[in-house]
Structure 1
Amino acid sequence: MARDSLARRVDWILLLAAAALSALGCLLVWSATRNRTDINNGDPQFFLIRQGINLAVGVAMAVGVMWLGHHRLRSAVPFYYAFSLIAMLLVFSPLGTEINGQRAWLAIGGYTLQPGEFAKVAITLGMAVILAAQVDAGDRDYPGPRAVMQALALAAAPVAIVVIDDMGMAMVLSVVILGVLLASGAALGWSIGLIVAGAAGAVLVWALGILDEYQLDRFGAFVNPSLDPAGAGYNTNQARIAIGSGGLFGKGLFQGTQTTGQFVPEQQTDFIFTVAGEELGFVGAGGIILLIGIVLWRALRIARGASDLYSTIIAAGIVAWFAFQCFENIGMALGIMPVAGVPLPFLSYGGTSMFASWIAIGLLQSVRMKRPISA
């Protein structure tokens, strides 16, 4: 096999880990919904088929990104960013729909899309273009103040749109911004200032009473789970019961009593990890965390071996995105993080989340394929 062949340049470990997570996700979604006649239209395979279609489309998007290449896509980033921003604003139009108190979705032809998922990619690519421009051209060794301010201004718009109605998405986007900034090599003071500003902003939002009542209830239930066990604390309590009941090896796929009894709300989306905990047990749930760890490990290797700053920033932004979102999702199921309504990448049901996750895999593969062959 030639040293520069396509097959050699693809990170097969990353690809197989992401594929394994997605396949497991399809099975877990199927288990969580096959008895849900209230939402599956009487077809036990309804969500399985739709998630399979989501996966196929997501993989096709990843292949498209790999074929085009992240460098060739660089000139299209402004258009993609504008598209993402417009889609996020459309959630406040008649096309927007509210789910579980959050107006963060578009309802189009019987399908719902969450534009914020695409914003993760848009912010990563947009900031990478700005921060790497002078460095990759050889004009500077690291991004200057003007570039950093432009990049932060670009990222501020999507965050401002989601911060009031979708705190979970705002948290993920904020971590992506921080990860991108750190990877760019910008002066550390910018990252420290961003953290301080974020903390001050959170305090201000709380003090001004901008948060909705259900958001306040979620934080209250996180601090004291026994505060409202039948209300805001119900999800977390049921999630921990489901995970704890799985024991070491679980009750077996499709055999979970908590899952079959529909005790955990939104189990096919935000709380998909509870299905794994109950039916696959500590070993199965640990296996999922191991696969997530492999994805992050390979992504970090790709970032380290990238041939230019633009590529490094893209890979690092994706690492920050996946790492925080997985930690938040699994953490809220275990009760160590507040319920924030973020999906578990590759596993939770949802087309937009699956598309964005596989676009990220396509970008990582593109970065790896452009690296020096010895890296």
Structure 2
Amino acid sequence: MDRRLWKNVDFVLLAVVYAIIIYGLVIISSATHITQGGGNNPYLYVERQAIWAIISTVALLVMMTIHYEDLLRMSKYLYGLNLLLLLLVEIAGKVGGGAQSWLGFGSVAVQPSEFAKIFIIITLSNLLARKQGQLNSFRDLLPVAIHVGIPMLLILAQPDLGTALVFIAITLGMLYAAGTRPLLLVIIIITGLTLAIGGVWAHLQGYIHLPLKDYQLKRLIIFINPDLDPVGAGYHVRQSQIAIGSGGLWGKGLYQGTQNQLNFLPEQHTDFIFSVVGEELGFVGAAGLLILLFLLVFRGLRIAAQARDIYGVTMAAGVVSMYLFHILENVGMTISIMPITGIPLPFFSYGGSNLLANMLGIGILQSIYMRRQKILF
């Protein structure tokens, strides 16, 4: 790659990403040094996350050197690889967190559904670019639905409802960026919500059977009223609200949160890590994190707006849509305005596969931004 391209790197975006990662390591330390520490090493999870951060940095640099248009030329192969990995999960996957979502490689386990999001962003961008100006009806969107629907059904079969919802968010964001009529997207969203709510109601009434676990259905409805099952499905939300509410303005102090340190908070280093921030660092700490996440999304949107072609616009929109949905869903479920779906907070929650996939997304954004114009001397 031409060295002059490095002058076009969005260093602000990189600074924001690494600030979030470092912040996350501090909170993971607090969340795991007592309740989740492995053996004699209370900082085992911090060390693992730091190692994944180094691996992800290498992947980021590699992705930045690849012209995003070269990724599009490999679209068919990437789509096939995506389906192959998801099928392998169905055949030989390991169960974790209630879902058969993992592939084991010795002592290391990876989650292909995380990388499926990156694959679908690249391959869908190629499809949308070829159909630019031809996305004006439901019939026009049928190829898109099939393209996204096949891997999404494989993910639902694991079952991983959260990642399947991320697929929907990515698709809608990319369709909008590709010039699809906004009214058509609004109709799709309203129709989808209506069918989802109606389907859950019909399942509960015994009229149909949805291919979802009982705990997943409870998560979809319990956020409306956690008191329906305060010691069961509603327990997580109640404890999260208690933690965040008790933090006040400045919080109880790092390593001092009672809900966190006494293990009342569930999955406090992954799904409910924002609750740890709210309890121990209060409104100030939570607001600081949200500002960093806002800057992440803002810089991504800026890159999408400055992309030089439809490929760059749609790919950047897909990456930003992925981050935005993760943020809204993760933060929202901790304060009971969104259902619990087990979606981590980007660059912040513990998890190697998620961190690696998110860094690949940053690599795509940087590749688009670095090549937004002719090389500057």
**TM-score normalised to the size of structure 2?**
0.90
User: What does residue 205 of structure 2 align with?
Assistant: none
What SS is found at the alignment partner of 1:223? coil
Distance 1:143 1:34, change over 3 A: same
> Aligned equivalents of 1:222 and 1:40: distance in 2?
32
Cα distance, 1:336–1:193 mapped onto 2, change above 3 Å:
closer
Are 1:127 and 2:132 counterparts?
Answer: no
Stretch moving more, 230-239 or 216-225? 216-225
- Which residue among 156, 162, 165 is the counterpart of 1:163? 156
Structure 2 CA distance, aligned partners of 1:160 and 1:205? 17
Residue number in structure 2 paired with 1:149: 142
- 1:14 is aligned to 13
Gaps of 5+ in 1: 136-140
Alignment of 1:7-86 (within 5 A): 7-36=6-35, 40-86=38-84
Aligned to 2:311: 310
RMSD: 2.2
Distance 1:317 1:96 in 2: 27
Distance 2:89 2:336 in 1: 30
Please say if residues 127 and 152 of structure 1, whose CA atoms lie closer than 8 Å, have aligned partners that are also in contact.
no
Unaligned runs of 5+ in 2: 203-207
**Letter in structure 2 aligned against 1:199:** L
Cα–Cα, structure 1 residues 220 and 143, in superposed 2: closer, same or farther, change >3 Å? closer
What does 1:102-251 align with in structure 2 at a 5 Å threshold?
A: 102-133=99-130, 135=132, 141=133, 148-164=141-157, 165-188=159-182, 190-192=184-186, 194-199=188-193, 201-203=195-197, 205-206=199-200, 207=202, 208-210=208-210, 211-251=212-252
- Secondary structure of the 1:44 match is coil
Structure 1 CA distance for aligned equivalents of residues 337 and 119 of structure 2: 30
Shift in Å, 1:150: 2.6
In structure 1, what is the Cα distance between the partners aligned to 2:232 and 2:16? 37
- 1:134 Cα deviation from its structure 2 partner: 5.9
Give the distance between the partners of 2:293 and 2:368, measured in 1 at CA.
19
- Compute the displacement of 1:55 (Å): 0.9
For 1:252-271, list aligned pairs within 5 A: 252-271=253-272
Check whether the contact 2:52–2:352 (CA below 8 A) recurs between aligned residues.
Answer: yes
Task: Give the Å deviation of 1:367.
Answer: 0.7
1:173, 1:107 → 2: CA distance?
Answer: 24
Render the CA deviation track for 1:65-87: whole Å, top value 9, x for unaligned: 10112112222222222222222
Post-superposition Cα deviations, 1:180-227, rounded to whole Å, max 9, x if no partner, equal 111101344652453255335524642323222111222332121111
Measure the CA separation in 2 of the matches of 1:273 and 1:259. Answer: 11
Kindly report which structure 2 residues correspond to 1:288-367, keeping only aligned pairs within 5 A, or say none.
288-367=289-368
Work out the CA distance in 1 between the residues paired with 2:258 and 2:374.
Answer: 51
Deviation at 1:261, TM superposition (A): 0.8
Secondary structure in 1 aligned to 2:102? strand
Partner of 1:97: 94
Q: Aligned in 2, Cα 1:43/1:347: closer, same or farther, shift over 3 Å? A: same
Q: Distance in 2 between matches of 1:86 and 1:194?
A: 29
Equivalent AA in structure 1 for residue 47 of structure 2: I
Q: Which stretch of structure 1 is more off in the superposition, 326-335 or 104-113? A: 104-113
- How far apart in 2 are the matches of 1:9 and 1:180? 24
1:320-350 Cα offsets, whole Å, 9 max, x none, are 1111110000000111111111011001111
